[in-house]
Structure 1
Amino acid sequence: MPVYKAPTRDTRFVINEVLGLDGLTALPGFAGASRDITDAVIDEAGRFVSDVIAPLNQIGDKEGCIRHPDGSVTTPTGFRQAYQQYVESGWGTLSAPEAFGGQGLPHVLGFVLEEYMAGANQAFAMYPGLANGAISAILSKGSPEQQQTYLPKMVSGEWLGTMNLTEPHCGTDLGLLRTRAEPQADGSYAITGTKIFISAGDHDLTENIIHLVLAKTPGAPESSKGISLFIVPKFLVEADGSLGARNAVTVGSIEHKMGINGNATCVMNYDGAKGWIVGEENKGLAAMFIMMNAARLGVGLQGLAQAEASFQNAVLYAQERRQGRALTGPAEPEQKADTLFVHPDVRRMLMDAKTFIEGMRALCMWGGLQVDLTHSAETEDERQAADDLISLLTPVIKGFGTDMGYKTATDMQQIWGGHGYIRENGMDQFVRDARIAMIYEGANGVQAMDLAGRKLALNGGRAVQLLFKVIDEECASAADGDPTVALVAEKLAKATGQLKAATMWFLQNAMADRNALGAGAYAYMTLTGVVSLGLMWLKVAKVAAAALAAGAEDKLFYEAKLTCAKHWALRFAPQAGALRHEIEAGAETVMALPVEAFAA
């Protein structure tokens, strides 16, 4: 049976030493982020997910969810009891606003919990994870009455939420959606249509589910500018807060999927269901993107989480499995064979994984801090800078993070050899669960186009120029001192130079040839990911070198950080030049062949 132990030691290092969260307690929303509280949250969250949620991962994969003849859905064995423990322990309230029953802690601590939950059991984590996005949308765009009606019980976890975008004929191009919303005399709307791929569309974890549904009102433009957002509860809510009649929303079927089988991915049928508009008519896409952006960061955490879970199991296997001898001679002559750890190619995969995972954790948590600083930084300029950075890097965290998460999961399966292909060992589940993260909440090609086609030019390129400034300053402050820090700074500066050149190439060529932008966008997203990871490794290397110079007790931990930072410099950073050349190749060969040539 596969194992999962929440990586609390590394998380504490990132939160306390790299981000210095306890130094921000004077800012609004950070008062409760003292070191003793954050350490307690990290450790207790780690224990909870490792002991309660992780043991259900394979069970959920094997059993899946069941739709019954009456249309109701039940989750796998143990899910409901575990969710009740989750609610009773208050985990869902961690970073929710105090006005609606939350603890009001920084979002970055919520990111810690999200990573642990997804690493322990991604399918289970999706149930409360989607509710967090719905809460964000209602907080931002909902009326005071809607907020009071729905948020207290959603924050407490008594109710969960969903997001309903996709239709059978309509995925990324939401302007094509057909779900209709007819205004009613009482101010509500009758919602009619079919949505597909709706994660957590129905289940037995809570007494009510609050669906956020995109639909078009009569006479609305046929494009995406004609979309509105509606709250459509599974059970109607009476004036006193009690539950009333069942709404006209039902589950048509549960999708049979490659992975995340413990989550109920549903076809949802709305047959004149009663709903209420959120925000302004025809402005629903902007409201939904509040959910989408929160979800995209959460999906990036899923990529990290599946990489971590698969890595832990690969390390254990490599320690135990004996095959062949070290190239330099037997490492353990008294044994018939050496462990897998003696083989450089196994080490290569493990070092790539460790370097990605720990760098990505720092990037995700730094991103979570930017989310907090958009609201809590001292000055308007600082708040704007944080918003610019996280807006720019959200598609990178989602796209690059899940690409690398999936690659890591397959590499870790590779270390297991044939045993990794056998279902009972669990490595296949990490691969299958990781695969969806590259697809949902906007496929990674869409993330690349969001980055290269929209975010780069936004506000005259302000965000990307800020990122370059942050990196340049970080590199400049590392010129002297520890040799590993200096090496990482040197390689990061060169990789950033490649990113700057690729950015300039886009600015000079994309307007003349939009296909060149589309053909190079994915490589640009990957290049930005490599550079962003390097920024984190430079920050980490500085902290690790300083700790070692000060005589830190946990010498092995900090030395390993420096080794991983050097691994990024020597093995990841060189990718930047190749990615730039790929971008500058343009679209000539990509778009050259006639369609019929592909079927020849």
Structure 2
Amino acid sequence: MPYRAPVEDYRFIMEHVVPFDEVAATEKFAEATPDMVSAILGEAGRMCEEVLAPLQRAGDLHPAHLENGVVRTSPGYAEGYKAIAEGGWVSIGADPEHGGMGLPLTLTTAVNEMMSAACLSLQLNPLMTQGQIEALENHASDEVKAVYLPKLVSGAWSGTMNLTEPQAGSDVGALKTKAEPNGDGTYAITGQKIYISWGDNDFTENVCHLVLARLPGAVEGTKGISLFLVPKYIPDENGEPGRANDLKVVSLEHKMGLHGSPTAVMQYDGATGWLIGEAHDGMRAMFTMMNNARLGVGGQGIGAAEGAYQHALAYAQDRRQGRSPVAGGSGTILDHADVRRMLATMRAEIFAARSIAMACAVAIDMGHATGEADWTARAAFLTPIAKAFGTETGIRVAEMGVQVHGGMGYIEETGAAQYSRDVRVTAIYEGTNGIQAMDLVGRKLMDGGEAGAALLDEVERNAEIARDTLPDLAGAVWQAAEALREAMEALVAKAPQDRFAGAVPFLMGWARVLGAHFHLAAALGEGGEGKRTRLARFYIERMLPEHAAHLAHALAGAEGLYAIADEDFAA
């Protein structure tokens, strides 16, 4: 089934649902005119449809593999990557000083999502490079920037992020990789890293690794970690790839999905690296890359959901089975109530998750363009929601896509199962969704809920505007926002462990309310009548009520959870 980029949806969201006009009105992003936005979305959409989408099955059926120490990528991936790089899609938001377009992250978010829907395995490569570009722009020395950024921005070189070690997963502070000064301003990096997405490839001239390591005498834990740039090939005096560095790919992981994306075990044996940022301040520099990647990973989930939805819809519109329960129906399984329920749920969830991600990107752009603390706080608050809900949506929608196919969904040849296998890891990497939720109830409520309350104020103002046009929907959204406000105020007063016990349902409660808010905005944007209004009604009447259950769980506390004894978990 051919993929069709949902360009119309992005345009509508930017025109009617999120305040992208405020981004374009800033001096920093003045070039993001409606014509420019339309051209970017249209060209990127065509590239995704014509070049990347045909590679989706190839990566799954012919995985990347290690051959005599060299990573060999899936058929067509080199040509697909070339189209991404030559089109400038790696560097939409990068600084023009180094060859980037300097456009808003909101546009990057839309383009990345389209690439994810077309071929998630390949899209993961430029996503990692984009994060590295941002980290270097913010923390690297001028000398490092001059050598590396033009190459990364052009796509000639690619970037990775090296955090995890065999004994140090989410507990990054337990890492053992060490960095010894060489006496010439460089460092010798020694250690092993695992789960390195696109740790190597056979289509870029160089692969640049951002590696967390510990300097001699550094304190234990995250405060003693530094960040280093360690290239596969050390640049020569002309900035071109020179001699091979002392690093190698030990093996590639055999994964549930994303077979086209080589996930490497990397070994560093005194490899030459350059310090990025200040010594012992590596986590701050790395978080610049990780925060970029968290929104990007949320977009990966949404993209996979879009691909799975289109796949399932095409099947449902073609598959005939049983007698149609609808007079004058199509005669396909789309006539059946439960299939229709699943497809409507998939479409409604995608719109909600996409709008949350775009709202987060707008807040990040406004924070960068204006320096206003309120926008920065909003971006920080929305990031864990965008990441977790975007990826949960991907998993749920992809699984539902298999169900729409019935027995054929369980047959690999249909391609339905691939979306489910590929997207599953997105809820795990770049900080598990549980960690995102703990961040939301922890750091993001340290202001007493001020950033969250400002968001809820906006939700309620929009609901008040909608009361004349869509009174029943507006009332439901307003009441849900009030319930969420009360739950947040109660959670702020709770002890940390009680917050953590209900963190995931609290985040999902936020996602439900924000999803309803954006659906209501969409209904208003088309005048209260039309396809978006019908979808909004479906979401608000049938899905928004789930927020009450989420909030009840969120406020239940930790006591009952820990009352379950360890031995109670035994079979």
Q: 2:406 matched to which residue of 1?
A: 417
Count the aligned residue pairs: 571
Query: Counterpart amino acid of 1:130?
Result: M
Query: Distance in 2 between the 1:285 and 1:12 partners?
Result: 36
The structural deviation recorded for 1:463 is: 1.4
1:343-398 per-residue CA deviation (whole Å, 9 max, x = no partner) reads 11111111111111122222222221111111113xx5xx2222111100111111
Q: 2:561 matched to which residue of 1?
A: 590
Q: What pairs up with 1:431-580 in 2 under 5 angstroms?
A: 431-457=420-446, 459-480=447-468, 482-483=469-470, 486-510=471-495, 514-545=496-527, 559-580=530-551
Q: 1:385 to 1:344 in 2, by over 3 A?
A: same
The structural deviation recorded for 1:597 is: 2.9
TM-score under structure 1 length normalisation: 0.92
Q: What pairs up with 1:192-271 in 2 under 5 angstroms?
A: 192-271=190-269
The structural deviation recorded for 1:19 is: 3.9
Q: 1:551 matched to which residue of 2?
A: none
Q: 1:137 matched to which residue of 2?
A: 135
Match of 2:388 among 367, 390, 399: 399
Q: 1:273 to 1:411 in 2, by over 3 A?
A: same
TM-score under structure 2 length normalisation: 0.97
> What SS does the corresponding residue of 2:249 show, helix, strand or coil?
strand
Query: Counterpart amino acid of 2:11?
Result: R
Q: Quick check: 1:287 aligned with 2:285?
A: yes
The structural deviation recorded for 1:568 is: 1.6
Query: Distance in 2 between the 1:48 and 1:503 partners?
Result: 43
The structural deviation recorded for 1:465 is: 2.0
1:40-83 per-residue CA deviation (whole Å, 9 max, x = no partner) reads 111111110110011011000111111112x1111101111121
Query: Counterpart amino acid of 2:176?
Result: R
Percent of aligned positions that are identical: 41
Query: Distance in 2 between the 1:37 and 1:26 partners?
Result: 14
Contact kept in structure 2, 1:254 and 1:267, CA below 8 Å: yes
Q: 2:369 matched to which residue of 1?
A: 376
1:534-561 per-residue CA deviation (whole Å, 9 max, x = no partner) reads 2211221111117x6xxxxxxxxxx110
Query: Counterpart amino acid of 2:457?
Result: K
Query: Distance in 2 between the 1:469 and 1:73 partners?
Result: 51
Q: 1:39 matched to which residue of 2?
A: 38
Match of 1:276 among 269, 274, 277: 274
Contact kept in structure 1, 2:74 and 2:260, CA below 8 Å: yes
Query: Distance in 1 between the 2:322 and 2:44 partners?
Result: 40
Query: Distance in 2 between the 1:586 and 1:139 partners?
Result: 42
Query: Counterpart amino acid of 1:339?
Result: T
Contact kept in structure 1, 2:19 and 2:362, CA below 8 Å: no
Query: Distance in 1 between the 2:23 and 2:118 partners?
Result: 30
Query: Distance in 1 between the 2:88 and 2:344 partners?
Result: 36
Match of 1:100 among 98, 111, 119: 98
Query: Distance in 2 between the 1:290 and 1:93 partners?
Result: 16
> What SS does the corresponding residue of 1:545 show, helix, strand or coil?
coil
> What SS does the corresponding residue of 2:90 show, helix, strand or coil?
helix
> What SS does the corresponding residue of 1:60 show, helix, strand or coil?
helix
Query: Distance in 2 between the 1:96 and 1:84 partners?
Result: 18
1:248-301 per-residue CA deviation (whole Å, 9 max, x = no partner) reads 110000000000110010000000001111111111011111111111101100
Q: What pairs up with 1:275-354 in 2 under 5 angstroms?
A: 275-327=273-325, 331=329, 338-354=331-347
Query: Distance in 1 between the 2:443 and 2:369 partners?
Result: 26
The structural deviation recorded for 1:328 is: 5.3
Contact kept in structure 2, 1:325 and 1:331, CA below 8 Å: no
> What SS does the corresponding residue of 2:41 show, helix, strand or coil?
helix
Query: Counterpart amino acid of 1:534?
Result: A
Query: Distance in 2 between the 1:528 and 1:20 partners?
Result: 20
Query: Counterpart amino acid of 2:406?
Result: G
> What SS does the corresponding residue of 1:276 show, helix, strand or coil?
strand
1:81-108 per-residue CA deviation (whole Å, 9 max, x = no partner) reads 1211222222223221111101111111
Query: Counterpart amino acid of 1:503?
Result: M
Q: 1:367 matched to which residue of 2?
A: 360
Query: Distance in 2 between the 1:446 and 1:593 partners?
Result: 22
Q: 1:302 to 1:25 in 2, by over 3 A?
A: closer
Q: 1:335 matched to which residue of 2?
A: none
> What SS does the corresponding residue of 1:372 show, helix, strand or coil?
helix
Q: 1:201 to 1:538 in 2, by over 3 A?
A: same
Query: Distance in 2 between the 1:82 and 1:137 partners?
Result: 25
Q: 1:254 to 1:185 in 2, by over 3 A?
A: same
> What SS does the corresponding residue of 2:273 show, helix, strand or coil?
strand
The structural deviation recorded for 1:501 is: 2.0
After superposition, the CA RMSD in angstroms is 1.6
Q: 1:35 to 1:239 in 2, by over 3 A?
A: same
> What SS does the corresponding residue of 2:323 show, helix, strand or coil?
coil
Query: Distance in 2 between the 1:89 and 1:539 partners?
Result: 33
Query: Distance in 2 between the 1:319 and 1:117 partners?
Result: 25
The structural deviation recorded for 1:122 is: 0.4
Q: 2:14 matched to which residue of 1?
A: 15
Query: Distance in 2 between the 1:372 and 1:23 partners?
Result: 10
Contact kept in structure 2, 1:22 and 1:35, CA below 8 Å: no
Deviates more, 1:404-413 or 1:260-269: 404-413
Query: Distance in 2 between the 1:17 and 1:462 partners?
Result: 26
Unaligned regions of 5+ residues in structure 1, if any?
333-337, 549-558
Query: Distance in 1 between the 2:268 and 2:32 partners?
Result: 43
Query: Distance in 2 between the 1:315 and 1:465 partners?
Result: 38
Q: Quick check: 1:190 aligned with 2:188?
A: yes
Query: Distance in 2 between the 1:596 and 1:22 partners?
Result: 57
Query: Counterpart amino acid of 2:533?
Result: L
Query: Counterpart amino acid of 1:350?
Result: L
Contact kept in structure 2, 1:16 and 1:35, CA below 8 Å: no
Q: 1:476 to 1:210 in 2, by over 3 A?
A: same
Query: Distance in 2 between the 1:130 and 1:413 partners?
Result: 29
Contact kept in structure 1, 2:23 and 2:362, CA below 8 Å: no
> What SS does the corresponding residue of 1:589 show, helix, strand or coil?
helix
The structural deviation recorded for 1:24 is: 4.9
1:565-594 per-residue CA deviation (whole Å, 9 max, x = no partner) reads 111210121111111111222223321233
Q: 1:127 matched to which residue of 2?
A: 125
Q: 1:23 to 1:515 in 2, by over 3 A?
A: closer
Query: Distance in 1 between the 2:475 and 2:568 partners?
Result: 46
